[in-house]
Structures are given as C-alpha cells and as structure tokens.
Amino acid sequence: AQSVTQLGSHVSVSEGALVLLRCNYSSSVPPYLFWYVQYPNQGLQLLLKYTSAATLVKGINGFEAEFKKSETSFHLTKPSAHMRDAAEYFCAVSVSSGTYKYIFGTGTRLKVLA
C-alpha cells in the first residue's frame, strides 16, 4: 500500500535560516507526490507536485522539493525562512484505487522564530 511519512511533527527555525521538512514515501509504483500548506483556519494550498518529469521541483513562495528514488524521499526545502512561512505542511501521495485519491502524512507544523 502506498503511504507517506513525515518525520517531525514540529520544526522550529530562525528567520532567514534553511527550512527542511522531511517526507518519505512507500510505493510499489512510481508515485505522484504533493506538498500542501495549511495556514490557520484555512484550507490546503498546493506548494508543488512531482509528476516524474523532473526530480527537482520548484514551487510557490520559494519552496522546492527533490524526489530521490534511492532514498524514497521527497523533502521540502526553502533557503531562507520568513515569518509568513509559519504554517502546517502536508506531504501527500496520489493513490490509484479505482479513482485517484490523496493519502496525506500527519503534517509538520513549522514555527519561525524572530
């Protein structure tokens, strides 16, 4: 069965520091992977997605993620954190079971310290 695991339910970084949010996947077929962000009291917004076209995927707000098959990882990074990046981040895999549905990780709450 396909799944994703997010390591670290809470991550704190200083403003201007590197952001690294970890996501590992489990899949017997080439996966389609997504990163979403959820701000307080809001729905989920797509940051980026991996569709097998390129292993380094650039998204919105300066975020990017690299698909590494050998490590079954799809970690999200941003070179310099900003206060507005404080939110909850979810990694998801698209799973085929008659239709396509998302399987989400449990989320990582990012805190940015001034």
Partner 1 sequence: ETGVTQSPTHLIKTRGQQVTLRCSSQSGHNTVSWYQQALGQGPQFIFQYYREEENGRGNFPPRFSGLQFPNYSSELNVNALELDDSALYLCASSTGTSGGTDTQYFGPGTRLTVL
- Map the footprint of partner 1 across residues 8-67, applying CB under 8 A: 32, 34, 36, 41-46, 49, 51
**Which phi and psi (to 5°) does residue 101 adopt?**
-130, 160
Q: Which residues, other chains included, contact 14 with Cβ-Cβ below 8 Å and sequence gap of 6+?
A: 81, 112, 113, 114
Minimum CB separation from partner 1 for residue 62, in Å?
19
Q: Report the distance separating Cα 4 and Cα 25, nearest Å.
A: 4
- Can you name the residues that pair with 65 across neighbouring β-strands? 57, 76
Q: Minimum distance from CB of 102 to partner 1 (Å)?
A: 6
CA atoms within 13 A on the CB side of 107: 12
40 or 114, CB closer to partner 1?
40
Nearest approach in angstroms of CB 50 to partner 1 is: 9
Of the two residues 17 and 44, which places its CB atom closer to partner 1 in the complex? 44
Out of 24, 59, 64, 107, the only residue in the binding site for partner 1 (CB under 8 A) is 107
- Alpha-carbon distance values, 36 to 70, 82, 98 (Å): 23, 17, 24
Nearer to partner 1, 86 or 95 (CB): 95
Residues in contact with partner 1 by the rule CB under 8 A: 32, 34, 36, 41-46, 49, 51, 90, 92, 94-107
